[in-house]
Amino acid sequence: MTVCSAPGKVYLFGEHAVVYGEPAIPCAIEQRASVSVEPREDDHVRVTAEDLSLDGFTVEYAGDGEERPDVDVPANLVEAAMGYIDHAVEQARDAADAPDAGFDITVESEIPLGAGLGSSAAVVVAGIDAATRALGVELDRREIADRAYQAEYEVQDGEASRADTFCSAMGGAVRVEGDDCEPIDAPNLPFVVGFDGGAGDTGKLVAGVRELREEYDFAADTVETIGDVVREGEELLADAEPGSEPSPELLAELGELMDFDHGLLSALGVSARSLDSMVWGAREAGAHGAKLTGAGGGGCIVALDPADATETALSYTRECEEAFRAELATEGVRVEEA
């Protein structure tokens, strides 16, 4: 059995705008998805998902993707989860030149599904790495990231960016602008995450921004302004010592940009009452800045606070189901002990 894991992520800046070629800075976090793969004698694929914020399911099929688990969760999340696994299997078969390879796959994850923390990217990245290794092929991280992006691109009807998959494969902080993806240095940012227990519909939210952008010039300007915020943040990070504890001054400046970014995302219609409530709860507790992370519509917010106040405040915020500290993951996809 081959077991690989990959980290989730938070967006420091840039979600949604990255779809239109603007830069984004996602950061990997030490909440991971783990994928175990065992080759089969036939061409079937048997998938067991232990959590993914669902009740768990097992499904076996012949690789045609027609059979789906019967679980009491939103259908779009189940369809997406299975779609990501299907396309990860396709990419692994292609990379190993083994079109008829079958697998027993087990997915375990610490990352809430559809909550803006990159659960799908982590599953696809870890799945491709584990499946190709199980077939005797080792890919470098950039190829894993590229193949994982191709899988997400198919599932998300061409609306995916390279940000999530590249960040999950490489670890640390990364800068993504179109097809240009590079790791960047960053201090040890004190992330606090608040989760409302829900999930946004990524495809619907991305489509909504696209419609606004096409209809209104000010919406297109808003997308470009998010890109400007990212560039300001990148300059701040470039002056910080990699891996160091950030100064209060740096956190204050980054936090102010995060607040701007959240306001711009809200103007594009991708926030939600629960997310805004958590953002304000974090700010009122003394966080340097707070914003939604990911597609929005529900899910998670991320705040900067080295103290315990924000995590405590979020845990008492009615709309927050879970609050936790998220450490920057300096290592991306990796092989685990079987």
Three-state DSSP class for 115? coil
Could you confirm whether 261 is annotated as catalytic? Answer: no
Q: Which residues contact 260 (CB under 8 A, 6 or more apart)?
A: 229
User: What 8-state DSSP symbol labels residue 24?
Assistant: B
- For 262, the 3-state DSSP assignment is helix
- Residue of 176, 157, 18, 162 whose CA lies nearest to 83: 157
CA atoms within 13 A on the CB side of 28: 27
Q: Radius of gyration over alpha carbons of the chain, in Å? A: 19
User: What is the distance, to the nearest Å, from the Cα of residue 323 to the centroid of all Cα atoms in its chain?
Assistant: 17
Report d(CA 184, CA 87) in Å as an integer.
29
| From 86, 129, 146, 164, the catalytic residue | 164
Which of 10, 15, 8 minimizes the C-alpha distance to 53?
8
Sign of CA dihedral 153, 259, 220, 195: positive
Which residues is 27 bridged to in the sheet? 10, 173
List the structure tokens of 238: 């470039």
Beta bridge partners of 59: 47
Instruction: Tell me the catalytic residues.
Output: 164
